[in-house]
Amino acid sequence: MISRFLKSREALLAGAIVLLTILIAIRFPAFVSAANLVRVFNDTSILIILALGQMMVILTRCIDLSMAANLALSGMVVAMLNAAMPGIPVPALIALAIAVGAILGAFNGIFVWKLNIPPIVVTLGTLTIFRGLVFVLSGGAWVNAHQMSDAFKAFPRAVFFGLPVLSWVAIFIVVLMTVLIGRTALGRAFYAVGGNPTAAVYTGIDVGRTRFVAFTLAGALAGLSGYLWISRYAVAYVDIAGGFELDIIAACVIGGISIAGGIGSVGGAVLGALFFGVIKNALPVVNISPFWQLAISGAAIILAVAFNARAERRRGRIILRQSEAAS
Amino acid sequence: MSDTTARAIPDRLESRWTTWLKSWEMLLVGVVVFVFAVNAYASPYFLNAWNLSDATFNFTEKAMIAMAMALLIIAGEIDLSVAAIIALASTLMGLALQYGAGTPELVMIGLGVGLLCGAFNGLLVTGLGLPSIVVTIGTMSLFRGIAYIILGDKAFTGYPADFAFFGQGYVWWVVSFELVLFLFIALIFGVLLHATYFGRMVYAIGNNATGALFSGIRVARVKFILFLLTGLMSGVAAVCLTSRLGSTRPSIAFAWELEVVTMVVLGGVSILGGSGSIPGVVLAALIMGLVTFGFGLANVPGIVMSIFIGMLLIGVIAAPIVWRRLRGESVG
Residue B1 pLDDT grade (very low, low, confident, very high; cuts 50, 70, 90): very low
A135 closest CB neighbour out of B145, B304, B310: B304
Cα–Cα distance, B310 to A108 (Å, whole number): 12
Tell me: pLDDT of B149 over 60: yes
Residue B329 pLDDT grade (very low, low, confident, very high; cuts 50, 70, 90): low
Q: Name the most confidently modeled range: A300-304, B191-195, B311-315.
A: B191-195
B146 touches A at CB < 8 Å: yes
Reported as a single tens digit per residue, the pLDDT across A265-274 is 999 999 999 9
A326 contacts: CB under 8 Å, gap ≥ 6: none
- Chain B hits for A297, CB-CB cut-off 8 Å, are 141, 145
Query: Tell me, what's the pLDDT at A259?
Result: 87
Cα–Cα distance, B78 to B55 (Å, whole number): 27
Mutation choice for B interface testing from A305, A307, A310, A314 by most B CBs within 10 A: A305
Burial class (CB in 10 A: 0-12, 13-18, 19+), A180: middle
Number of neighbouring beta carbons within 10 Å of residue B122: 26
A175 contacts: CB under 8 Å, gap ≥ 6: none
Strands B175-176 and A159-160: unpaired
Residue A113 pLDDT grade (very low, low, confident, very high; cuts 50, 70, 90): very high
Query: Tell me, what's the pLDDT at B10?
Result: 65
Query: Tell me, what's the pLDDT at B330?
Result: 56
Beta strands of chain B (E only): which ranges? 156-157, 170-172, 175-176, 247-248
Query: Tell me, what's the pLDDT at B44?
Result: 82
Reported as a single tens digit per residue, the pLDDT across A195-245 is 999 999 999 999 999 999 999 999 999 999 999 999 999 999 998 988 888
The sign of the CA dihedral A105, A108, A113, A119 is negative
Tell me: pLDDT of B201 over 50: yes
Tell me: pLDDT of B331 over 60: no
| Residue B60 near residue B182 (C-beta atoms within 8 A) | yes
B185 contacts: CB under 8 Å, gap ≥ 6: B64, B67, B233, B236
Mean pLDDT of A59-83: 95
Residue B306 pLDDT grade (very low, low, confident, very high; cuts 50, 70, 90): confident
CB contact under 8 A, B145 and A117: no
Reported as a single tens digit per residue, the pLDDT across B61-120 is 999 999 999 999 999 999 999 999 999 999 999 999 999 889 999 999 999 999 999 999
Number of neighbouring beta carbons within 10 Å of residue A72: 28
Eight-state DSSP code of residue B125: I
- Helices and strands per DSSP (H, E), number in chain A: 15, 2
Mutation choice for A interface testing from B141, B154, B325, B329 by most A CBs within 10 A: B141
Burial class (CB in 10 A: 0-12, 13-18, 19+), B3: middle
Select from B1, B331, B8, B208 the least CA-distant residue to A201.
B1
- Chain A hits for B145, CB-CB cut-off 8 Å, are 291-298
Chain mean pLDDT for chain A: 89
B42 bridge partner residues: none
Q: What percent of chain B is modeled with pLDDT above 70?
A: 94
Structural domains of chain B ordered from first start: 45-326 (1.10.3470)
| Residue B153 near residue A290 (C-beta atoms within 8 A) | no
Beta strands of B150-269 (E only): which ranges? 156-157, 170-172, 175-176, 247-248
A164 bridge partner residues: A159
Query: Tell me, what's the pLDDT at B7?
Result: 60
Strands B247-248 and B175-176: unpaired
Instruction: Tell me if residue A164 falls in helix, strand or coil.
Output: strand
CB contact under 8 A, A298 and B145: yes
Residue A169: C-alpha distances to residues A36, A46, A135, A219 (Å): 19, 9, 28, 16
Tell me: pLDDT of A20 over 70: yes
- Chain A hits for B271, CB-CB cut-off 8 Å, are 118, 120-121
Reported as a single tens digit per residue, the pLDDT across A154-200 is 999 999 888 999 999 999 999 999 999 999 999 999 999 999 999 99
Distance from CA of B276 to the nearest CA of A (A): 15
Query: Tell me, what's the pLDDT at A198?
Result: 92
Distance from CA of B1 to the nearest CA of A (A): 6
Residue B233: C-alpha distances to residues A134, B11, B161 (Å): 33, 45, 23
CB contact under 8 A, A246 and B262: no
Tell me: pLDDT of A13 over 90: no
Secondary element (H or E) of residue A96? helix A90-114
Distance from CA of B255 to the nearest CA of A (A): 8
Tell me: pLDDT of B18 over 80: no
Higher pLDDT, B138 or A321: B138
Reported as a single tens digit per residue, the pLDDT across B245-259 is 999 999 899 889 888
